[in-house]
Structure 1
Amino acid sequence: MDTSTPTTPHPHRLVMATADPIPSSSPAFGTPARPFRIPKANAPPPKTSILPILLPPSTLRPVAFRTFTRKHNLTISSSALQTLAAFVGKNCGSGWREEGLAERVLDEVAKIWKRAGGGVIVEEGKGASLKAILQSLEGSMSGGRVLAGRLNPHDGSIKTSRNGDGTRIESLTGHTNGSITTAPGDGDEDDSQLSLYPRTWLKVIAAFDVPRLTYNVDKKYFEATKSKPTLFPPPSHKTALFRDRYNLVYQRLLRNESFQTSSGITGVPLLQRSSSNLATQQSYKLTPIANLLGRNGTSHLLLGLLSISPTGDLSLVDLTGSVALDLSHARMIPEDGAWFAPGMIVLVDGVYEEEEMVKGSVLGGNTGVGGAIGGHFVGVSICGPPCERRDISLGTGNRRGGGEISSSGGFGWVDFLGLGSERAQGVRMRRIQEKCLRGDLDMTEPKSRLKVAVLSEVNLDNMRTLDALKKVFGVYNDLSRAERPQVFVMMGNFVQKAIISGGGRAGSIEYKEYFDSLAVVLSDFPALLQYSTFVFVPGDNDPWASAFSAGAASTIPRQPVPELFTSRIKRAFTAANSELGRSNSPEPVGEALWTSNPTHLTWFGPVHDIAIFRDDISGRLRRTAVDTKPDDEHDITMHEALDGPTDNAVSIAPEEEIDPVAQSNATKLGTGAATSMARKLVKTILDQGTISPFPLPLRPVLWDHGSALQLYPLPTALILADAEASPFCMTYEGCHVMNPGRLTPEGDIPIVRWVEYDVLRNRGKVREERY
């Protein structure tokens, strides 16, 4: 019997050999051949293993700086850099530098951070969660690279939802470290389902709803105050109120070109008036007050708060100390162009004289109570800190209707009003504004213009006021819907005297009857009630602040008029809207909003910010301003002794830009003195960056809500209702300031005056009618 091995292969083994072109890994041992699987076209590539390394944060710092700061205008904190170094070392391995893996990963992290609405400083708690971003990114990486096909925010790892106004919110599922809020300024945002009625995007933000922000000097960024606001805060909050004001002005000053150190410039020139903008040829240097000791007879430039010392003398205070101030030889810059009163932050240029050089000095020792140093500071010139334009503060450059974001820094990522920052929502809101104003709606009327009618000092206890209101409402009632104002701002005082304090009379009942009379007048114009928003801002005579102030300056910010007195007006709006029958219409109905003083009126988020404040501020400035009486001969001698002739000296105070059309209206309504006073008022307030630059005994302020009084960044428009000043409209550093004055001026001629403001043109005009 033949026991030899047959030479014919097994049929199955033959098929395997011919079907698999790849030979066996070990033919000598007869191991079976493994079938070669061809990957599918859509299958992800195999995940390459990476050998983790320990990457020090200092080694990654240059790459992070190049990616985050230079490319994306972001600043990364030390803790975030340490987190990113651990992530890159774990997921990119040794190829993080040679293969450029780290730069690509950091670039993707920066993009997600900006889309998530994070702040300009990359760290935890700045609008997005860095840990959540890295956890989501780690699942889409292979071989140290981010796979674009797997990085999809809608693949189930990120949950998407929408707010009522269409804002998209994306939160990471499966993680408890935080959530990612996507800014609605992304280019792929779908705006087709959003309302295209302009009044939908109108928001009234009360002072108590404004985010409480404080400037962090170390981080050079704004931070939200974590403590809960109260009417009885600890005394340290009073000190923080003025310290925050000083730090805000100080950082704004150092950002100015005139205070940027440049090579080849020595010495500190005096502050003098220039022909136009800030001087770029000179470099100014600030001296802390504490550094004046031992520097007798030297000239310095000081930044401090004007105050009254316990001895009754004028002094200058900064964060290091205080010094007695002598302004008897000081020259104001510009000449008679601004007020300087205690409570304001000013720049003073002059000479320090030590105590032993001052005859009859009452200050003992080098330092006194409260850090006061001996001697005094003889001021040569005094001016306010230069104002900063809104686009410079936000770092957006000059962008009218959009534009590229500047790389010069700024606070564009800070949400100052709680509606979203300029860089997060500005682009999208401008796109929505264009759609709203293109006439996309199916309306018979042409596209509407955004107008605001501003009426101030509406004294309802004066019968002439009701007749004047009928005239104003009648003027707009005869116009088409496109030409009517979409907002009416009615500002107090709604009574001439603070009768709400009682005194044996039924003040509350009378006050309610006055608003009932206003409701009767409004009911005669249902077209205005159906398509307009009425905003009511109280004054010092309105409840309940007048119950204890008796008409004097009450504490600000102050609450709106209580609902106890406004029920009749609300019923008038309800009745007018019910007659129209628009219950299912997407167009917003007319409404009456009662807000605080001060308040903000915003349109399309951060695009249009209109600050509103009712106060007789010009009279308070005239009563408390410092009166300098310079001796011209002595002044010229001191200038020549310190810095030579004054012909080439330059001022750091910018000239105001006056709207010629609005200025002509103001000139017709008042004398040249009234126009000069209006310029002084506007320059004083905007340079100080606050609507209440006074000491607390003169104008009380709620300590925990002091940030609501700041004008930084500058609003696009400011309604500064002052009944003691003539009506005016003018623009200073891009901010349009308006004062409607009294609704019914004093005199025998029945005249009604108000301001009509065009939001898109950022220009207002004073209107006048006889009734």
Structure 2
Amino acid sequence: MMPGDKPLVAALFAPKTPGPAKDQIPSSSPAFGTPAYTQRPFVIAPTTKTTILPILLPPATLRPLAFRTFTKKHSLTLTSSALQELASFIGRHCGSGWREEGLAEKVLEEVAKGWKNRNGGVIVDGASSELKDILKTLEGNMSGGRIVTGRELSRQNSLALDMSSQDVDISNTRLGLRPIAALTRDDSQASFGMSGLGVREDETEDNEDDGLNDLRKWTKVISAQEQPRMLYNVTKKHFERDSSKPSILPSANQKTTLFRNRYNVIHQRLLRNESFQTSAVASAKGAPSLSRSSSSLTTAQQTYKITPIANLLGRHGSHHMLLGLLSVLPTGSLAINDLTGTIALDVTQAVSIPEDSAWFTPGMIVLVDGVYEEDEEATGRGLGSTNGIGGVIGGRFQGFFIGQPPCEKRKATLGVSGPDGGQDHTIGGGFGWIDFLGVGSERAVGSKMRKIEQRLLRQREEDPDSPGRGRVVVLGELNLDQPRALQALRKILTLYASEPEGTSPMSFVITGNFTEHAVMAGGGASGGSVEYKEYFDSLASVLSDFPTLLQTATFIFVPGDNDGWASAFSSGSAVPLPRKGVPEMFTSRIRRAFASANAEPGVQNGGEAIWTSNPARVSVFGPEHEIVLFRDDLSSRMRRTSVRLKSSKAPAEESNKHAESDEVPDDEEMADIMGQGDDMEVDAVKPPAAPEIPHDVQSARKLVKTILDQGYLSPFRTNIRPVHWDYASSLHLYPLPTAMVLVDPTAPPFCVTYEGCHVMNPSAVLVPGRRGVGRWIEYELGKAGRLRECLF
């Protein structure tokens, strides 16, 4: 049926009214018995579409209205070409009523929302394909100069989505949102606005549905291959989604893009720090000095500047602060490089700030404070030698202080205001409209998700002593080839199966290596594959003894380096990250156990087994809770490859002889810059009364600070820890997750909170040196995890 046939069909089923009407036509042939008035189906219905006469709208006339809508309301900047496109579109489709009837304002509002939905940046360019696609989609939804879809167009963001391709039934949504797991979407940016989670603002929160009251319905496991690939655009100062198709064997320029994106993300994060923001008042009084002043006002106005490496030429003996990537030259000496060049780095006199608080390995992006020294033969000419633009600059950089770039809290990154995020972080930017995981942005669905979370977890607040449903049980390395490991697992599952009905944990996280040695690399006809499958069959027999847990919980399995298929060619050595999950051919028996448990009568929302990648992310209530799952021996790898630095307790006269005393910062000043001001909370171990910090606590803090300050899960050289270049964005920790499961058997177990991110390491299930003891971590959403042990 065509759209124009709707009035005729409505008239066909209308009740018959006797007598003539004003819209009826007299009979033209009385001789043939034609009725005096025509039948209703043949009534000529008046057209409902208003004819619009196009006009020529000058861009200067539309500029005030466009400035008020784009700049004042949506913080966007229009280029002259974009203003010309909008003026031409409005003049053609809205006509002379663009101002009096408010038609242009509605069109500009929808275009602004569509541009934000596509992560177009703060500058709206008329030559971009995004703006043309938005106007083309909007043109098909206009009639008579008006948007025919009304508020549904704004709510569902049809400017970026083809509504005909969506199979999400919005009318059946209750509680205001549809669970993430029920969505089928092709474009991860579709959830930028309200469309990704099916927002219905007119729905009340009092409606309850048994299927949506389960926390697992609001949980989504996102593998590294499914996560949107975001790249930071330096020109737009915005994150953009990489629309190219990823590949395992990409072109060589993707390797350069990997390191450039890492540097740009840390550099923009550093510039958002108050210590690197230039104040107009302070600059008027003179150049900022690195010396500490007794005046608190002067200290608050001190700012620091990062010098590009290429700008060191001709500045022999001057003091600078560099931000760059630690690397190793072909000669074997240490160097630091940024996007402008490379220079040899001397760290023999360097002191880490704060002392012994983080690891420094080649492959990390670090802050170095020191003095530039030219070559002796070039000192007389006053110029440093270079091998070309972006090449190795002659001379060396004598580093005095080295530290990690300070981390940024999640609330500050997303621009969330509140008591935990300061007075107002929305001033000065924030990436709250960016959908980093494909589950909806913070600005779009964050407030809705928090309301639903409070309603579902209200029972836990009323009875804090009872076990909560929003718990995640994290088991460390589980070697299935060790019988005692299966005994420990059986004991742990028995403890949770005996809990009252309806209070069992919502998910269990089980991590590899699932075999102590890489059996897939073994000899024989099967290559160890048959033996490898038998280990998972034994795991399936253990899980089958706990049908209640299989019916009410989600089991998430994260592989290690010894698991298939990667271990078949690596023999247990470091494999490229990210890596896919264990193949289905080895886990068929476990899936069958879940299917049998969920087939019992009375089971409505059964549990499931998810074999995800390493690393992976778990999203609970959209952007409200983000949990990173990662299995790697980070601690041992950092100890092997770290750079040895001198202690700050040693005499520092030699390190200060090349610089003036009022230009070299002391330990306290560098600690303020490099993030010592925020103390790290240890939840699993209480601080001792003695001033000495236990070695396990200190090593845990050191590991956590290094990873979170780097904002990257693999801050090593590619020959030490290979990375798939096209999937490197899944290794970024920006914005910081709310929680992180870092399974590292080479490090002691811990639960540490740093800058609002709770990091947990359960280590191995079997406790070394203690026979018959199993260990795991129990984490509750939004709270701290706790280390638990049991005897078996």
Equivalent in the alignment of 2:26: none
2:339 is aligned, of 319, 342, 367, to 319
Shift of 1:139: 3.6
Query: Could you say which residue in structure 1 is the equivalent of 2:186?
Result: none
CA distance in 2, matches of 1:430, 1:591: 25
Amino acid in structure 2 at the alignment position of 1:753: R
Q: In the superposition, relative to structure 1, how do residues 62 and 127 fare at CA in structure 2: closer, same or farther (>3 Å)?
A: closer
Alpha-carbon separation, structure 2, partners of 1:100 and 1:287: 55
TM-score scaled to structure 1, two decimals? 0.81
- Tell me how far 1:420 sits from its aligned partner: 2.0
Structure 1 segments unaligned to the other structure (5+ residues): 1-42, 170-178
Q: Distance in 2 between matches of 1:103 and 1:708?
A: 41
Q: Distance in 2 between matches of 1:150 and 1:751?
A: 63
Q: What is the aligned partner in structure 2 of residue 22 from structure 1?
A: none
Q: Tell me, yes or no, if the aligned pair for 1:286 and 1:303 is still in contact at 8 Å.
A: yes
CA separation of 1:180/1:663 partners in 2, compared to 1, >3 Å: closer, same or farther? closer
CA contact (8 A) 1:117 1:128 kept: no
1:118, 1:128 within 8 Å by CA — same for their partners in 2?
Answer: no
Counterpart of 1:707 (choices 729, 735, 754) is 729
Matched residue of 1:294: which SS? coil
Q: Distance in 1 between matches of 2:96 and 2:315?
A: 58
Q: Name the SS for the 1:209 alignment partner.
A: coil
Distance 1:209 1:76, change over 3 A: farther
Length, aligned pairs only: 698
* Cα 1:182–1:664 shift into 2, 3 Å: same
Is 1:327–1:628's contact at 8 Å kept on the other side of the alignment? yes
Q: Which amino acid aligns with 2:202?
A: D
2:561 to 540, 545, 549: 540
- Deviation, 1:640, is 5.1
Structure 1 position 485 matched with structure 2 position 505 = yes
Counterpart for residue 221 of structure 1: 238
Partner in structure 1 of residue 600 of structure 2: 579
Is this contact kept in 1: 2:339–2:390, CA < 8 A?
Answer: no
Partner SS for 1:430: helix
SS of the residue corresponding to residue 628 of structure 1 reads: coil
1: CA distance, partners of 2:492 / 2:200: 43
Distance change (3 Å), C-alpha of 1:164 and 1:550? farther
Listed as ranges, the matches of 1:14-413 within 5 Å are 52-56=55-59, 63-76=65-78, 79-88=81-90, 104-105=105-106, 108-109=109-110, 113=114, 121=122, 129-132=133-136, 134-135=138-139, 139=143, 141=145, 151=150, 153=152, 163=168, 166=173, 182=195, 184-185=198-199, 187-188=201-202, 192=207, 195-263=212-280, 264-265=282-283, 266-267=286-287, 269-270=289-290, 280-356=300-376, 365-367=385-387, 371-398=391-418, 406-413=426-433
Relative distance call for 1:601 and 1:151 in structure 2 (3 A) is: closer
| 1:677 aligned onto 2:699 | yes
Q: Is the 8 A contact 1:728 1:739 kept in 2?
A: yes
2:290, 2:664 within 8 Å by CA — same for their partners in 1? Answer: no
Q: Distance in 2 between matches of 1:271 and 1:128?
A: 54
Contact 2:741 2:761 (C-alpha < 8 Å) held by counterparts:
yes
Secondary structure class of the residue paired with 1:307: strand
What is residue 36 of structure 1 aligned with on the other side? none
Q: Distance in 2 between matches of 1:80 and 1:197?
A: 47
Inter-partner Cα distance in structure 1 for 2:291 and 2:336:
17
CA contact (8 A) 1:140 1:150 kept: no
Does 286-295 or 186-195 show the bigger shift?
186-195
**How do 1:629-640 residues align onto structure 2 when only pairs under 5 Å count?**
629=646, 631-635=651-655
What's the CA shift string for 1:52-82, capped at 9, x where partnerless? 444236x755653443233234454655333
Q: Which letter maps to 2:83?
A: L
Alpha-carbon offset, residue 358 of structure 1: 8.6
Alpha-carbon separation, structure 2, partners of 1:196 and 1:129? 39
Post-superposition CA distance 1:417-454 (Å, at most 9, x none): 122222222233333333433469xxxx9995311000
Q: Which runs of 5+ in 2 are unaligned?
A: 1-45, 183-191
What is the deviation of 1:695? 0.6
Name 2:629's counterpart in structure 1: 612
Further displaced range: 374-383 or 654-663: 654-663
Quote the RMSD (CA, aligned, Å).
Answer: 4.1
1:402 and 1:578 map into 2 onto residues whose CA distance is 50
TM-score in terms of structure 2 length: 0.79
Q: State the alpha-carbon separation in 2 of the partners of residues 509 and 454 from structure 1.
A: 28
Please say if residues 353 and 377 of structure 1, whose CA atoms lie closer than 8 Å, have aligned partners that are also in contact: yes
Is the 2:748–2:763 Cα contact (8 Å) retained in structure 1?
yes
Alignment of 1:556-595 (within 5 A): 556-582=577-603, 585=604, 588-595=605-612
DSSP-derived class of the 2:599 partner: helix
- Please name the residue that 1:621 is paired with: 638
Tell me: CA distance 1:644–1:568, structure 2 relative to 1, closer, same or farther (3 Å). Answer: closer
Structure-2 change in CA distance of 1:535 and 1:271 (3 Å): farther
Which residue of the other structure, out of 453, 461, 465, is the alignment partner of 2:473?
Answer: 453
Contact 2:354 2:667 in 1 (8 A): no
What is the letter of the counterpart of residue 487 of structure 1? S
Contact 1:662 1:766 in 2 (8 A): yes
Q: Is the Cα contact below 8 Å between 1:401 and 1:430 reproduced in 2?
A: no
Larger CA deviation: 289-298 vs 429-438:
429-438
SS of residue in 1 equivalent to 2:225: helix
The residue aligned with 1:718 is 740
Greater mean alpha carbon deviation, residues 607-616 or residues 657-666? 657-666
Q: Is the 8 A contact 1:729 1:739 kept in 2?
A: yes
2:664 corresponds to 1:659: no
Q: Which amino acid aligns with 2:497?
A: N
Summarize deviations over 1:665-722 as a string: whole Å, max 9, x none: 9999x97111111111111001111000001000000111111111111111111111
**Residues 538-561 of structure 1 deviation map (CA, whole Å, 9 limit, x = unaligned):** 001111111111111111111111
Aligned partner of residue 456 in structure 1, secondary structure? strand
Instruction: Tell me if structure 2 keeps the 8 A contact 1:60–1:85.
Output: yes
Please give the per-residue CA displacement for 1:188-212, whole angstroms capped at 9, x wherever unaligned: 3577577222111111111111112
Partners of 1:401 and 1:140 in 2: CA distance = 47
Contact 1:666–1:675 (Cα < 8 Å) also in 2: no
1:611-652 per-position Cα deviation (integer Å, ceiling 9, x unaligned): 110000011111111112265232355565252673873521
Q: Tell me which structure has the larger Cα radius of gyration.
A: 1
The answer on whether the counterparts of 2:115 and 2:130 sit within 8 Å (CA) in structure 1 is no
* Code of the aligned partner of 2:600: E
State the identity as a percent: 49
- List aligned pairs for 1:680-759, cutoff 5 A: 680-759=702-781
Q: What do the CA deviations read for 1:22-78 (whole angstroms, capped 9, x no partner)?
A: xxxxxxxxxxxxxxxxxxxxx999989889444236x75565344323323445465
- Partner Cα distance (1:721, 1:272) in 2: 41
Q: Which moved more, 1:223-232 or 1:565-574?
A: 223-232
Q: Distance in 1 between matches of 2:153 and 2:398?
A: 67
CA distance in 1: counterparts of 2:149 and 2:771, whole angstroms? 75
Paired with 1:604 and 1:402, the residues of 2 have a C-alpha distance of 23
Partner of 2:10 in structure 1?
none
- On the 8 A contact 2:310/2:340 being kept in 1, the answer is yes
1:530 corresponds to which residue?
551
Separation in 1 of the partners of 2:358 and 2:473? 29
User: Separation in 2 of the partners of 1:116 and 1:299?
Assistant: 45
Work out whether residues 94 and 144 of structure 2, in 8 Å CA contact, stay in contact via their aligned partners in 1: no
Q: C-alpha separation between the residues in 2 aligned to 1:487 and 1:402?
A: 33
One-letter amino acid of the counterpart of residue 232, structure 1: L
CA contact (8 A) 1:112 1:133 kept: no
Matches of 1:62 and 1:309, distance apart in 2: 56
